[in-house]
Amino acid sequence: MTSEMKRYSELILRTTLESRFKYAMLGGEVGFATFGHDRHLNQRFYQSYEWKKVRDEVIIRDRGCDLGIPGFEIHDKVLVHHMNPIKVADLKEFNPDVLNPEYLICVSPRTHNAIHFGDEKQLPRPFVERRPGDTKLW
């Protein structure tokens, strides 16, 4: 992996969900196969004890919040996203970076899809507490 890798320590310097999203965004293409016929490597990796252990550590570190932002708790499936896409060679050659929390962040499925294929319009919005009269038309 290169020196231009995205890092958790740089991501957390950004204070808003939108700025963290822009840092993490990959701009992928729908239907682009990352692993192709080597998909079994990817699937085996995500079932490994080592991955599950580091995944749990990252969820605890980020407190289960989307892009690690307090107030954006993930209430369904928590995904742990590789900020630098892993490649077949990374798994075949046992690159330790794929298990390094410095290159991982918690995301919701919606944010994960936006990072790979979308834009910030897909991001979750902060909770707005309702108040009496806030639905009156005039």
Phi-psi region of 103 (alpha: psi -120 to 50; beta: other; left: phi over 0): alpha
Residue spans per domain, the chain: 79-123
Give me the torsion for CA of 86, 91, 93, 98, rounded to 10°.
Answer: 50
* Residues ≥6 apart with Cβ < 8 Å to 132: none
pTM for this entry: 0.81
Residue for token pair 């079932």: 47
How would you write the pLDDT of the chain (138 residues) with one tens digit per residue?
445 899 999 999 999 989 999 999 886 554 445 666 677 888 899 999 999 999 999 999 999 999 999 999 999 999 999 999 888 999 999 999 999 999 999 999 999 989 988 777 777 666 667 778 777 666
